[in-house]
Amino acid sequence: MQNHKSAVQRNQALAKKSGEFLIGGDLRVTRLGFGAMRITGDGIWGEPAGRAEAVRVLRRAVELGINFIDTADSYGPGVSEEIIAEALHPYPNGLVIATKGGYVRLGPNQWVENGKPEHLRSACEGSLRRLRLDRIDLYQLHRIDPKVPAEDQLGTLRDLQAQGKIKYIGLSEVSVRQIQHARTIVPIVSVQNRYSVTDRGSEDVLEYCEKEKMGFIPWFPLAAGRVSSSESPISRIAARWKASPSQLALAWLLARSPVILPIPGTSRVEHLEENVAAAELKVDVNKWQELDRMARAS
C-alpha cells in the first residue's frame, strides 16, 4: 500500500471500496470524500499557490470514484467554490457538493461567526451562484452563532429549504444537546465535527449520529498532515502494515463507524492518490484495537 500508485492504476474507481452512505436516506455517496478547504491560499485566504494543480486534484478525485466534496463559502472566501465549479461543472450525475455558511472572513486565519438571517440568506445565494447550482444538496451551518438565537439561524435554513435552495441541512462543531435542540426546529442529516484517530473529543456526538443514522463528517481527519508525519504516533504501526500513516488514519475512521464520512483535504494529486488508496486497506479488529490503544496512549 505504501506504493499506492499500483492500487490507483489497478482500480480507477478506488474510492468506491470505502463503501457507501445515504445522506438523508437518499443521497448516495462514497464514504471517502474530499475536503476542498486546502485548495486556497495560506490561512485559507485567497488563491492557492497552484490553481492548475487544484483543478487537477478535483478532477482526479472524481475520476477515482469520489462523489462527495465538502467546501464552504468562507474558504478563500469564495475561492474553493469557484475552483470546484471551474474544475467539475457541468457536474457528473450523482456528485454531491456540501457547502457551509455562517462565517465571515476578515483576513488570513480570521473567522468571525455570523448567523444573522440576512447573512445566511445572502451566503446561500452566493454559494449557489459560485457553484452554478439551482439547489445545494447539503448546506451546513458552519457554526451556531452564540450572538443570534439558534431558532433564527436554523429557521432561516428551514426557509431556504422550503424555497428549494437547499435539499438537506447539516451542522458543524456541535454538542449532542445542540443537535437535539436543532432537530426540534428542522431535520438535520449530518454533523461535521473535528475527529481523528488521535483526536477523540467528539466520541459522544459520533455515537449519537450512529444511533440516529446521521452522517458524521470528521474534519481534520489527518490533523492537517501531522498524522502523516514520521513523528506521528501511528507511523510505526503504519510501517509494519505497509501503509502510510495517512492511509492508516483514514482506514481507522472508515472502520470506526459506518456513518463516518472522512473528507481528507489536500492541494496535491500525489497526496490525494495516497489517501484514496486507504479505501482498500482493511483494518481488522486486532489491528484496529492496537491502533486505538497506541493513539490513546500518545
Ligand X SMILES: NC(=O)c1ccc[n+]([C@@H]2O[C@H](COP(=O)([O-])OP(=O)(O)OC[C@H]3O[C@@H](n4cnc5c(N)ncnc54)[C@H](OP(=O)(O)O)[C@@H]3O)[C@@H](O)[C@H]2O)c1
Instruction: Considering the complex, state which of residue 215 and residue 221 has its C-beta at the smaller distance from ligand X.
Output: 221
Give yes or no: 75 in active site.
Answer: yes
Instruction: Considering the complex, state which of residue 57 and residue 286 has its C-beta at the smaller distance from ligand X.
Output: 57
AA letter at 242:
K
Angle at 267 between CA 244 and CA 195, to 5 degrees: 60
162-191 residues in contact with ligand X (CB under 6 A) are 172-173
CB of 227 to ligand X, least distance (A): 7
Q: Residue 117 in contact with residue 158, Cβ under 8 Å? A: no
Instruction: Considering the complex, state which of residue 114 and residue 192 has its C-beta at the smaller distance from ligand X.
Output: 192
Please count the residues of this chain forming the interface with ligand X, following the rule CB under 6 A.
26
Instruction: Considering the complex, state which of residue 32 and residue 148 has its C-beta at the smaller distance from ligand X.
Output: 32
CB of 124 to ligand X, least distance (A): 17
Q: Is 274 in the site for ligand X (CB under 6 A)?
A: yes
Strand partners, 170: 140, 190
What x/- string results for residues 20 through 59 when contact with ligand X is judged by CB under 6 A? Answer: ---------------xxxx---------------------
d(C-alpha 37, C-alpha 125), whole Å: 20
CB of 104 to ligand X, least distance (A): 14
Strand partners, 23: 27
| Nearest position to ligand X, beta carbon | 35
Strand partners, 110: 107
Q: CA 68, 135, 150, 120 torsion: positive or negative?
A: positive
d(C-alpha 26, C-alpha 168), whole Å: 10
Q: Is 265 in the site for ligand X (CB under 6 A)?
A: yes
Q: Is 215 in the site for ligand X (CB under 6 A)?
A: no
Sorted by sequence, the CB contacts under 8 Å of residue 66 that are 6+ apart come out as 15, 30, 32, 33, 34, 276
Q: Which stretch binds ligand X (CB under 6 A): 124-132, 151-159, 199-207, 271-279?
A: 271-279
Name the DSSP class of 18. G
What x/- string results for residues 63 through 102 when contact with ligand X is judged by CB under 6 A? Answer: -------x--------------------------------
CB of 162 to ligand X, least distance (A): 25
Q: Which stretch binds ligand X (CB under 6 A): 60-68, 177-185, 268-276, 287-295?
A: 268-276
What x/- string results for residues 126 through 155 when contact with ligand X is judged by CB under 6 A? Answer: ------------------------------
217-256 residues in contact with ligand X (CB under 6 A) are 219-225, 228, 246
Burial 33-72 (b: 16+ CB within 10 A, else e): bbbbbbbbeeebbeebeebeebbebbebbbebbbbbbbbb
Sorted by sequence, the CB contacts under 8 Å of residue 260 that are 6+ apart come out as 31, 206, 216, 217, 218, 253, 254
Q: What is the dihedral of CA 103, 56, 166, 256, to 10 degrees?
A: -80
Main-chain phi, psi angles of 105, to 5 degrees: -115, 135
Q: Which residues bind ligand X (CB under 6 A)?
A: 35-38, 70, 172-173, 192, 219-225, 228, 246, 263-268, 271, 274-275
Q: Give the active site residues.
A: 75
